[in-house]
Homo-oligomer: A and B are copies of this chain.
C-alpha cells in the first residue's frame, strides 16, 4: 500500500512522462515543488518497491507496476471530479483541489460506486480520459485550438491546464466543453484568434488561451 506521499510522486511522474514514461529528477522536482535531493531519495525508495527504474544520472522511468498504480490514482482523481460535477452540482472550476485529497482514499468500493453511478464515464469534466481498472486510457488525438486555421469550425473537447483561474475565465466567456467554435481570423504577430460561438460573434482569444484548448 502506497502512502499519500508516494502516490503523489507516482502521479506526478506519470503525468510528466505522459505515456512515454520518462522524466528527469529535475522535472519531477519542479512539478512537485519538492527539492531535488528529496526527490532523489524517494526515487530510490520507489525503485526498491519496483515502481520506478532508477539509475544514477539517467532519466527516471515508471515500471509497468508503477505506471498502473499511478493510473489508479489518476483514475480516482478523475472519477472524483466527475462525481463532484455530475452528482453533486459543483462547477468544473471547483473540483480539482477537492479531488487532490479524495484521490488518496483507500477504498476501492467507493470509487467503483462512483463509476457505476456515473455510468462508467470515459472522460472527466476537463476532457481528460479516465483510466480503466487496468490502468489503460486512450488519449484521443485532439488538436490544439492554436493549431487550427481561420475558417475552421471545431468543438471544444478538453483543457490542458485546469487551473481555477483559467476555468473561471472560460466560464466568464461562456466557453465550455462541447461548445462549437468558428474561427473567424488569426492574428499573425501574436497568434490570437477572433472566434464566434453561441451568442458571441467576435470574441478575442489570446494565443495562450488557444494553446490550452483542445478541439476536434
Q: Is there a chain B Cβ closer than 8 Å to A89's Cβ?
A: yes
Shortest beta-carbon distance, A168 to chain B, in Å? 15
A88 touches which of B94, B101, B113 (Cβ 8 Å): B113
Contact A113 B101 (CB under 8 A): no
* This protein's copies in its complex: 2
- Residues B107 and A88 in contact, CB atoms below 8 Å apart: no
Of all chain B residues, which has the CB nearest A116? B89
A interface residues, tally (CB under 8 Å): 18
From A107, which residue of chain B is reached at the shortest CB distance? B98
A84 to B105, CA, bound (A): 14
Query: Which residues of B have CB within 8 Å of A166?
Result: none
Contact: A98 with B90, CB < 8 Å?
A: no
Closest residue of chain B to A4 (Cβ to Cβ) is B4
The smallest C-beta distance from A102 to any residue of chain B, in angstroms, reads 7
Choice from B88, B98, B113, B114 contacting A105 with Cβ under 8 Å: B98
Quick check: B101 and A106 within 8 Å, CB to CB? yes
Contact partners of A89 in chain B: CB under 8 A: 113, 117
A117 to B87, CA, bound (A): 10
Residues of B with C-beta under 8 A to A113: 88-90
When distances are taken between beta carbons in the complex, the residues of chain B under 8 Å from A110 are 84, 98
A97 at the A/B interface (Cβ < 8 Å)? yes
Residues A91-138 near B (CB distance < 8 A): 94, 97-98, 101-102, 105-107, 109-110, 113-114, 117
Residue contact B101 to A97, C-beta cutoff 8 Å: no
A105 to B113, CA, bound (A): 19
Instruction: List, in ascending order, chain B residues with CB within 8 A of A94's CB.
Output: 109
Which residues of B lie under 8 Å from residue A117 when comparing CB positions?
88-89
Name 5 interchain pairs, CB-CB below 8 A, sorted by A: A84-B110, A89-B113, A90-B109, A98-B105, A101-B105
Beyond A98-B105, A101-B105, list 11 extra A-B contacts (CB 8 Å): A88-B113, A88-B114, A88-B117, A89-B117, A90-B113, A94-B109, A97-B107, A98-B107, A98-B109, A101-B107, A102-B105
